[in-house]
């Protein structure tokens, strides 16, 4: 009998190993030094292992934490200020965020991370401005993070341009952000045994010059880093690059050799079918942000087609202003429901596939499937424990028929997550963050919101903000 | 100064009066004898009223409880056993529920009601078998209920027929259920000052004979009762009635004079555009169950068209097996997201419209807008209080721009509901049911699930159940 750091026993263990969900009705997981050392039937695991600490997971699900493949925690401070709009980027989010300072962004980001982790996300793929500041938020809460400094060469008043027009690139902005990216890589790539991973992040091919894109691509490839980029996220993007270079976004990326297995592409929402195939064929992975893109654009990204072409798809929550939450349970359900509707089929996008797209397929999407995304000896212990005695998850059927996976995907909302473990370390217990005072974070965010409100009152673009109109008309 | 039973003060009060949301940044509500006596700015209300009990709702939303226009609490005991399927009714829910007894149904129904109420629903439009038993569940939890005994003339082995074929009606079944309905009306219509309302419930026009439908229609009209019916809920329904009577469902209902202002129609999901107009023109109200119909059929019901034709639309959650939850927050978000996608527009189905469809428009849908659905002096005090300091609802902006309504619709999941008041009586406090022991309900449901599992093991149709296959293949 070996005594490990942590033994989770008697749970409904969903390993996400194999082609399905790898579920075990009565399973246990042994954890030592941040890694899983054993997972299997309780009778077998407990014959070999005891724990310095033991968690009894009877009537609870024990499963890999979610991997949110695409988030912008830097925007969370303006949650709820940008939705129900036409041209979200130019008319809502950019003019609003032009009123933010780095402190606002840092405080909002903490809230985003807190929400995400409390609802079962253990790895956040966070694409932000000021990544050197934001990384400290993730380290504070204790989750795993894949961090990307968002790099563009946009002028600061970009939202004052016609969205369908090209604008002059500001190369000094791009160089500054790229320098930040390189510094981040030097300081944090692989930090704390892969608790932090860094990616290279051109915001989109219409927002960086080809010269800078060449540099970023070369830097990523020569340093074995992945690229996290928005691809064909709007008609605007395609029109702008066509005006600049005579090609739409995906063919441009392809022709210049930017695509490939090292690319993780968000949205691809405005790509044609051949463009989707071109992306999938290149080995690039796709991130599906169903709630965000439906709310922002009224569009469902082509995940069904991407899968049809043999591509890999992971789920992401995107940003708080325009989702408006960062909860992978909500993404699983919305992604299922939207795709069933799109494909006119109740059997399309079944529950187990969604659970995979939030865990093991997401791990493949972010390129970390060798260390996270499923429960297997040798992998990192990134685990959540979910209370299955909540009314919306009850009753529980285990055999001869089981309702665990469909209830997790279609019925759970995240408030059922009791315990969150990252790298073998418990960071949420009894639904409380262990390394941050949530009430304090919320107070602090509210204080910043008051200051931002004052700034917005003096902002010359206030009257044009859709949220200002909705407020004035008594609708919001 | 008058002292009322209950004074809720300092809240963000969303009255749902007027054409928008009628929101007040700092508002109060005075309640006496189960009714609202005053609602308005805190300064004004508190000048006139004090309370025997006072709730300080600072940083909380005070709003009308949700009205779930269409639910089948009788099915909740088999939550999670029927989804991701083709022909949900014949291949999943009917064969499974053929194994249930009235006790199973009663126990599951309590769980459904508990979940619903804990997530902010104060009125449930419950269409069930054994309504005389189910009504006691609602009275126990303390919510308002609009109850319908589901009336059909189906043979007990209906799921063994070809779905596209007609089957022989069993008139004795229909007569028995109609008798139950009449008894329910006599005993409960208007019970406890409208805490219970009864409707007449032909399950669908393909499931009752025209003779019985005539009787039901006549009974409803002469007793001033509303009719709650599924309309054009599948191709199957249209094919069956065409085979029987040479007409599709909606024209048949119309030609025989069954439509009108007293009709509340669920789904209409398989109606043509002219049929949708026919329904709307008749004054019938439509119930939109977005999650349920997308999951069951891969279809989005024509709410956009119904509204375009001037019809009234309220939201409903339908049943636990095939949604799989009964949470109006989830319905608001999914309905917005699905319709934005359908209409290819980020501005379609904005947050405030969804909030209306879950409250005041829902009240119109169920015909009780004179007493519930908004906060107005004289209306029933059916009120929920929502904590706006939760991370997913933070930060809070009130002026010059406000994010309250979009965050309620797109970010809240229901776990933020702290207090639920029905008829002026607090039935949920600090997220706890006051009139039922939730842990006991869940245990009881799990005990029944074990028994049902045993029965299903011996059921000759087990092997054909999709859930059995998903389980055997390690997917669920």
Give tens-digit pLDDT for B309-324: 999 999 999 999 999 9
Q: Are residues A261 and A380 in the same domain?
A: no
Which residue of chain A comes nearest to B349, CA vs CA?
A: A84
Residue B285: DSSP 8-state: E
Q: Are residues B36 and B175 in the same domain?
A: no
Label the pairing between strands A60-64 and A383-387. Answer: antiparallel
- In contact, B220 and B255? CB cutoff 8 Å: no
Q: Is residue A182 part of a domain?
A: yes
> Exposed e or buried b for every residue in B300-320, given b needs 16+ CB within 10 A?
bbbbbbbbeeebbbbbbbbbb
Q: Do A413 and B410 touch (CB under 8 A)?
A: no
CA distance A290 to chain B (A): 9
Q: Is residue A57 part of a domain?
A: yes
The pLDDT, as a whole number, for residue A466 is 97
Cis peptide before B395 (omega within 30 of 0): yes
B79-121: pLDDT as tens digits: 999 999 999 999 999 999 999 999 999 999 999 999 999 999 9
Residue B116 belongs to domain with CATH number = 3.20.20.140
Q: Count other Cβ atoms within 10 Å, centred on residue A187.
A: 12
Q: Are residues A107 and A190 in the same domain?
A: yes
Cα B198 from Cα B182, distance rounded (Å): 10
Burial classification of residue A51, based on how many CB atoms lie within 10 Å of its CB (0-12 exposed, 13-18 middle, 19 or more buried)? buried
Which residue of chain B comes nearest to A300, CA vs CA?
A: B341
pLDDT confidence band for B349 (50 / 70 / 90): very high
Residue percentage of chain A with pLDDT more than 70 = 100
pLDDT confidence band for B372 (50 / 70 / 90): very high
Phi, psi of B142 (to 5 degrees): 105, 5
> In 3D, which of B397, B446, B310, B360 has the Cα closest to residue B12?
B397
B30-61: pLDDT as tens digits: 999 999 999 999 999 999 999 999 999 999 99
> In 3D, which of B81, B32, B140, B174 has the Cα closest to residue B461?
B81
List of E strands, B152-291: 196-202, 227-231, 263-267, 285-288
DSSP string, A122-168: EEEEEEESSHHHHHHHHHHHT-EEEEEEEE----TTGGGS-TTS---
Q: Are residues B29 and B109 in the same domain?
A: no
Q: Are residues A282 and A258 in the same domain?
A: yes
Element (H, E) at A419: strand A417-422
pLDDT, mean of residues B288-317: 98
The pLDDT, as a whole number, for residue B82 is 98
Q: Are residues B56 and B120 in the same domain?
A: no
How many domains is chain B built from?
2
Residue A286 pairs in a beta bridge with A265, A313
Q: Is residue A186 part of a domain?
A: yes
Q: Do A471 and B402 touch (CB under 8 A)?
A: yes
Q: Count other Cβ atoms within 10 Å, centred on residue A69.
A: 33
Q: Which two tokens stand for residue A285?
A: 């992975």
Report chain B's terminal Cα–Cα distance, integer Å.
Answer: 61
Q: Are residues B315 and B184 in the same domain?
A: yes
pLDDT confidence band for B130 (50 / 70 / 90): very high
B196-241: pLDDT as tens digits: 999 999 999 999 999 999 999 999 999 999 999 999 999 999 999 9
Q: Which two tokens stand for residue B137?
A: 């569940």
What separation in angstroms does the CA of B199 have from each of A340, B178, B191, B217, B252? 32, 12, 13, 11, 21
The pLDDT, as a whole number, for residue B400 is 96
pLDDT confidence band for A191 (50 / 70 / 90): very high
CA distance B442 to chain A (A): 6
Chain B CB contacts of A476 under 8 Å are 21, 23, 351-352, 401-406
Which residue of chain A comes nearest to B301, CA vs CA?
A: A341
Label the pairing between strands B263-267 and B227-231. Answer: parallel
Q: Do A398 and B83 touch (CB under 8 A)?
A: no
Q: Which domain holds residue A16?
A: 2-64+375-433
Q: Are residues B161 and B49 in the same domain?
A: no
Q: Are residues B179 and B246 in the same domain?
A: yes
Q: Is the ipTM, as predicted for this complex, more than 0.90? A: yes
Q: Are residues B291 and B395 in the same domain?
A: no
pLDDT, mean of residues A29-33: 98
A52-111: pLDDT as tens digits: 999 999 999 999 999 999 999 999 999 999 999 999 999 999 999 999 999 999 999 999
Q: Which two tokens stand for residue A325?
A: 């939450």
CA distance A103 to chain B (A): 14
Chain B CB contacts of A338 under 8 Å are 294, 337-338, 341
Considering only the beta carbons, identify the residue of A81, A405, A476 that sits closest to B476.
A405
Chain A CB contacts of B77 under 8 Å are 395
The pTM for the full model equals 0.98
Please identify which residue in the block is written with the tokens 């009753």. A395
Element (H, E) at A384: strand A383-387
Chain A CB contacts of B340 under 8 Å are 294-295, 298
Element (H, E) at B69: strand B66-71
Q: Are residues B287 and B380 in the same domain?
A: no
Residue A387 belongs to domain with CATH number = 2.30.40.10
Element (H, E) at A211: helix A210-222
CA distance B446 to chain A (A): 5
The pLDDT, as a whole number, for residue A248 is 98
Q: Which residues contact B271 (CB under 8 A, 6 or more apart)?
A: B231, B232, B249, B250, B279, B302
- In contact, B65 and B383? CB cutoff 8 Å: yes
């Amino acid at each position: 009998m070996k005594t490990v750091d942590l033994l989770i026993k008697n749970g409904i263990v969903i390993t996400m190993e194999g082609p399905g969900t790898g579920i075990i009705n009565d399973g246990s997981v042994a954890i030592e030094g941040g890694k899983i050392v054993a997972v299997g039937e309780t009778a077998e695991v407990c014959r070999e292992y005891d724990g310095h600490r033991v968690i009894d997971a009877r009537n609870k699900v024990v499963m890999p934490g979610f991997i949110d493949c695409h988030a912008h925690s830097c925007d969370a401070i303006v949650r709820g200020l940008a939705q129900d709009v036409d041209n979200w980027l130019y008319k809502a989010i950019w003019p609003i965020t032009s009123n933010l300072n780095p402190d606002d962004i840092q405080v909002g980001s903490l809230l985003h991370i807190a929400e995400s982790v409390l609802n079962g996300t253990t790895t956040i793929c966070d694409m932000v401005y000021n990544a050197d500041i934001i990384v400290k938020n993730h380290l504070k809460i204790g989750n795993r993070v894949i961090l990307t400094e968002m790099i563009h060469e946009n002028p600061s008043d970009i939202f004052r341009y016609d969205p369908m027009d090209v604008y002059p690139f500001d190369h000094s902005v791009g160089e500054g952000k790229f320098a930040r990216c390189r510094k981040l890589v030097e300081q944090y790539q692989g930090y704390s045994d892969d608790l932090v991973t860094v990616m290279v992040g051109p915001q989109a091919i219409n927002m960086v010059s080809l010269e800078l894109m060449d540099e970023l691509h070369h830097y990523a490839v020569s340093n074995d880093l992945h690229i996290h980029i928005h691809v064909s996220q709007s008609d605007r993007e395609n029109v702008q690059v066509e005006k600049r270079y005579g090609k739409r976004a995906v063919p441009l990326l392809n022709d210049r050799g930017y695509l490939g297995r090292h690319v993780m592409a968000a949205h691809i929402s405005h790509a044609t079918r051949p463009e989707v195939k071109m992306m999938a064929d290149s080995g690039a992975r796709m991130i599906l942000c169903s709630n965000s893109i439906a709310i922002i654009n009224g569009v469902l990204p082509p995940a069904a087609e991407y899968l049809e072409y043999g591509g890999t798809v992971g789920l992401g929550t995107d940003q708080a202003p325009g989702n408006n939450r960062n909860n992978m349970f909500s993404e699983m359900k919305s992604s299922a429901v939207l795709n069933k509707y799109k494909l006119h089929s109740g059997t399309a996008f079944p529950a187990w596939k969604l659970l995979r797209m939030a865990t093991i397929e997401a791990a493949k999407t972010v390129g970390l499937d060798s260390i996270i995304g499923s429960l297997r000896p040798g992998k990192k212990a990134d685990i959540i424990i979910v209370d299955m005695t909540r009314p919306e998850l009850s009753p529980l059927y285990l055999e001869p028929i089981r309702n665990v996976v469909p209830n997790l995907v279609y019925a759970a909302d995240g408030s059922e997550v009791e315990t969150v473990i990252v790298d073998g370390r418990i960071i949420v217990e009894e639904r409380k963050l262990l390394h941050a005072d949530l009430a304090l974070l919320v107070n602090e965010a509210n204080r910043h919101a008051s200051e931002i409100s004052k700034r917005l009152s003096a902002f010359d673009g206030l009257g044009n903000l859709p949220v200002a109109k909705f407020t004035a008309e008594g609708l919001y």
